Structure 1
Amino acid sequence: MTNHSEKPDTDSLPHSVWSADWLRQVESTAAASCGISLYQLMLRAGSAAYALARDRYPTGRHWLVLCGYGNNGGDGYVVARLAAADGIKVTLIACEGARPLPPEAASARQAWLESGGDILPASRRWPEDIDLIIDGLLGTGLGAAPRAPYDALIEAANRTRVPIIALDIPSGLLANSGAVPGVAIRAAHTLAFIALKPGLLTGQARDWVGQLHHNTLGLADWLAKQLPQIQRITARELRQWLQPRRACAHKGEHGRLLLLGGDHGFGGAIRLAAEAGLRSGAGLVRVLTHMEHIGPLLTACPELMVQRLSDDTLQQALEWADVVVVGPGLGQGDWGRNALKQLQSSDKPAVWDADALNLLALHPEKRQNRVITPHPGEAARLLNCRTADIESDRLLAVRRLVAQYGGVAVLKGAGTLIADQQGDMAIADVGNAGMASGGMGDVLSGIIGGLLAQKLSLYDAACAGCVVHGAAADRVAEEQGTRGLLATDLLPMIPYYVNPELEK
């Protein structure tokens, strides 16, 4: 089974994302603008899904098609009819509802029956020789955990270990958030219709979507005229943020970056962030930390300027710096609290990470010159809720972070979200499971700080930093796999992505 975390051919996917609610509202308008009916749109969806299934599983001879009581099920009826007409044996199981089917789904169902197809109830025992399952159970309108009989059908499909192709979205995965409140189809492939929805790219999506595909169903021209709600960002966008340097550039042009952190026993965190700032292209990087870390930091990276953190050195360094990163290894004791208190009087652009965020949660304050980079646990503390609340709706969470704390918020995780107060939002469609290891967040804060020092805006630096970070990790994973991937492995890869002109 192919996993979306392997990042297959993501350049073929669009870079605009819309909410499922909005798409449902405008679908009839979009179809009418192209001179087709909603039923014809459904026929296009079924045809596209059938073509994908035949392409990926050309030897399949017995398909099981699961149809729900809505338009997602209507797509399934179309797939079933096309497969049967092509000589494939089809078993179709459908859920019944108390209300009439939507008109388009009813037409697709009737066409299936008129072609000689049978409809079996959800309680029917499954054949043992099926070699492909088409998931048309629940579409993008789902807002809660699947109920009976859908939950039982989803669990049965997953138990078969037969490859599953999901129509528009895996049943049970919420289209607007990527949350999975109950059971969900574990798809080998998912074909998104018309546009990408955020739930296919963030939250729990990568565990369920499999390889993601997309088909506009002929609405590409109409869609191009609509203002995207969210941007899907990958390494392809780096060229718009990072231009080649002029031949006579000098280090003073590329910013002075100051990093604060590294309490007793946490020197590694500040070292990772500082070197990441250098590798990202900051002209000069200065670290204020504990005396015990000065020697090791200079030995590991002699390009750094390292001093003991004191009131005097901090005041001098703040006057010197263009940008500040605070938090990696900072701790929550008096040493870290004092440094953070002094920093709060500065108006320099800053990146707050790790313990700086935990201290911020204790004394919330809003400012516009800051990027915050919480993981879900830190976000929960900042918003005074549970981590489960954050993960249940990551898009809402990142909007709340921006509203309460200002500036730019980066909500880390699979499908990292970046948002600002102007309503801009992006999903970084990069990264892999190997990044679930210590020190990765420190590297990210250093990259963002380094890009801020080179005069990118807060939002652009956050977006570009997340992409550089994830793309570097993907490059390492391609060479050595995800298990055992270390934060230090990313450091030599960063220059490949902050110099996008090197990419073919």
Structure 2
Amino acid sequence: MANQREKQHATSLPHSVFTADWVRAAESRAAEQTGTTLYGLMERAGQAAFTLACEQYPQSRRWLVLCGHGNNGGDGYVVARLARTAGLQVTLIAVPGERPLPPEAAQAREAWLETGGEISAPESLWPTGSDLIIDGLLGTGLASAPRAPYEALVEAVNRHHAPVLSLDIPSGLLAETGQAPGSVVRAAHTLTFIALKPGLLTGQARDWVGQLHHSALGLSQWLEKQRVTLERLDAESLTRWLQPRRPCSHKGEHGRLLVVGGDHGFAGAIRMAAESALRSGAGLVRVLTHKENIAPLLTARPELMVQELNDKSLADGEAWADVLVIGPGLGQSEWSKNALAALRKSAKPALWDADALNLLAITPDKRQNRVLTPHPGEAARLLGCRVKEVESDRLLSARKLTECYGGVVVLKGAGTVIADESGELAIADVGNAGMASGGMGDILSGIIGGLLAQKLTPFDAACAGCVVHGHSADLIACRQGTRGLLATDLLPVIAQSVNPELK
């Protein structure tokens, strides 16, 4: 459930994220500088995994440990030894390799054999009654789909009834991107070591990782001194951007936001964007839309100022506003194109979404004071590529978008990526599957626009907005589950998220 995941993240996962390549390169230096060895780190990893397995599955007595021919397998050997020493029944299956095991993994293997443990071949029959599987097959160095015999073992794991604890990363998942090019172990729990890796937080990660845990292996203080280029954002991050208001503040201090969109038949999109901007704390929100939408919007939300979109109201609205949002329900008619062309000339901070992005893909430009919020399909159109290419490396795709279009990019999805042209990167580690429903993007646009109006920088507004959006959905999912969650369900909850001091 979302509440379990959120609580676990809030209490134990760090906010810094490092690439798997960086962790592998820095591991020896970290061990040396902290007075341990690489084998010492492996022992710590195995101990952390054994402790977690016992905490999560205290009744389990028959463990199946799967070890690959690398250091991930070495971690598995340590877990197996500790479990056997504790009196558990352990079956260990190891995959041989063409080259010798890495020294640390070889040492762990010998320690396992010295306890009287045995090693079974990959084609061995699995024992009946195994009630926990430890996945130490493939680690963070994987760059392609698993090959034989790993592929068969991964598929056998997924057919088995026992829960799975994956070491460092579910075997088959790519640590840098979260992509699954082939078979992947579906873990109930994943314990990652030293640092979080991007592939545990975005891409297809949520389908495979299960509940994510982290152990720094005693290197926390060392890691704190390292330069962080990628950040994990969650609900605890909100206090950084959203401080309590000054008691004597007034609506003018909290920003004037102009929201433009709502072609024929799309009044709902512009209403959701505008109301979510109000709920996020914008002082004044004006809507320019089709005349037919005015009465329904004012009836639904009288706090909005709603006018017909025409040349005069657009010029007046742009002059009045501090921040612009264009795109929700905009369409791609001449009416839509004319509105975008007029606002394109504005120097004021802006958020572009939906059909504003599709029109931008046709006539691209680059500017720094703009937030773009594409989903993968819109991102593909902006980059002139396929959706599959966007999703194959979401961090890289977000960077490419900022290079082409400037400003800040919010690449939406499970593990939304926020990037700006200066190189800042973040992953919003909030949200749930219930958000796969119509209108969620309009809500996000309004939240970010409302935060921009409250004078957050574009990057901070994008980060805070994504967290508010996902956290609000998580609060609802905690109460009612994910299926049937509507975009408008978020509207009453947004105010709770943008007031983090109330927690």
Question: Taking structure 1 as the reference length, what is the TM-score of the superposition?
Answer: 0.98
1:457 aligns with 2:457: yes
State whether residues 2 and 477 of structure 2, in contact with CA within 8 Å, keep that contact through their aligned partners in structure 1: no
Partner of 1:7: 6
Q: Distance in 2 between matches of 1:9 and 1:314?
A: 47
2:494 is the alignment partner of 1:484: no
Answer whether contact 2:2 2:478 (CA < 8 A) is retained.
Answer: no
Q: Within 1, Cα distance between the matches of 2:120 and 2:149?
A: 13
1:336 paired residue number: 336
Contact 1:5 1:206 in 2 (8 A): no
TM-superposed CA distance for 1:6, in Å, is 4.3
Is the 8 Å Cα contact of residues 3 and 211 (structure 1) preserved in structure 2? no
User: Which residue in 1 is equivalent to 2:132?
Assistant: 132
Q: What 5-or-longer segments of structure 1 have no aligned partner?
A: none
The residue matched to 1:460 in structure 2 has which SS?
helix
Distance, in Å, in 2 between the alignment partners of 1:181 and 1:324 is: 40
How far, CA to CA, are the matches of 1:502 and 1:478 in structure 2? 18
Match of 1:412 in 2: 412
Matches within 5 A, 1:64-213: 64-213=64-213
Deviations 1:73-99 (A, max 9, x none): 000001111111111111111111111
Q: What are the superposed Cα offsets for residues 311-360 of structure 1, whole Å, 9 maximum, x if unpaired?
A: 11101111111100000000011111110011111001000000101111
Aligned partner of 2:437 in structure 1 is: 437
Specify the alignment match of 1:395 in structure 2.
395
| Residues 13, 264 of structure 1: alpha-carbon distance in 2 compared, 3 angstrom cutoff | same
TM-score (norm 2): 0.98
> Match for residue 275 of structure 2?
275
- What code does the residue aligned with 2:443 have? V
Any idea what the Cα deviations from partners look like across 1:177-222, whole Å, max 9, x if unmatched?
1111111010011001011111111111111111111111011111
Shift of the alpha carbon at 1:100?
1.0
Once residues 228 and 369 of structure 2 are traced to their aligned partners in structure 1, the CA distance between those partners, rounded to angstroms, is 26
SS in 1 for 2:98: coil
Give unmatched runs, 5+ long, in structure 2.
none
Q: Secondary structure at the match of 1:39?
A: helix
Q: Which amino acid aligns with 2:255?
A: G
Distance 2:311 2:91 in 1: 74
**Following the alignment from structure 2 to structure 1, what is the Cα–Cα distance between the partners of residues 103 and 190?**
25
Judge conservation of contact 2:358–2:382 (CA < 8 Å) in 1. Answer: yes
**Deviation by residue 1:406-446 (Cα, 9 ceiling, x = unmatched):** 00000111111101111111111111110000000000000
Q: Return closer, same or farther for 1:180/1:77 CA change in 2, 3 Å cut-off.
A: same
Cα drift, residue 457 of structure 1: 0.2
2:59 corresponding residue in structure 1: 59
Counterpart Cα distance in 2 of 1:493 and 1:472 = 6
Identify the residue that residue 227 of structure 2 maps to in structure 1: 227
Mapped to 2, the partners of 1:312 and 1:271 lie a distance apart of 21
The list of structure 1 runs, each at least 4 consecutive aligned residues, that deviate by more than 4 angstroms after superposition, is 2-6
How many angstroms does 1:125 deviate by? Answer: 1.1
The separation in 2 between residues aligned to 1:82 and 1:247, in whole angstroms, is 58
Query: In 2, distance between residues paired with 1:291 and 1:57?
Result: 61
Distance 1:313 1:373 in 2: 25
Q: Distance in 1 between matches of 2:57 and 2:396?
A: 38
Secondary structure of 1:397's counterpart equals helix
Name the SS for the 1:409 alignment partner.
strand
Q: Is the 8 A contact 1:3 1:207 kept in 2?
A: no
The letter for the 1-side match of 2:331 is: G
Give the Å deviation of 1:3.
Answer: 8.1
Q: Distance in 1 between matches of 2:89 and 2:481?
A: 39
Aligned residues between the structures: 502
State the alpha-carbon separation in 2 of the partners of residues 230 and 373 from structure 1. 19
Larger displacement relative to structure 2 (110-119 or 273-282): 110-119
Alpha-carbon distance in structure 2 between the residues aligned to 1:3 and 1:34: 37
Deviation at 1:499, TM superposition (A): 1.4
Amino acid at match of 1:296: P
Contact 2:2-2:474 within 8 A present in 1 as well: no
Aligned to 1:348: 348
Map Cα deviations across residues 138-162 of structure 1 (whole Å, 9 max, x no partner).
0000111111110100000010021
Query: Which amino acid is the alignment partner of residue 9 of structure 2?
Result: T
For residue 42 of structure 2, what is the amino acid of its counterpart? M
Q: How far apart are residue 238 of structure 1 and its match?
A: 1.1
Q: Distance in 1 between matches of 2:435 and 2:258?
A: 25
What is the CA-CA distance between 1:7 and the residue it aligns to? Answer: 3.1
Identity %, equivalent residues: 69
Q: Find the aligned partners of 2:2 and 2:494 in 1 and give their Cα distance.
A: 25
Q: Which position in structure 1 is the counterpart of 2:42?
A: 42
Shift of 1:117: 1.0
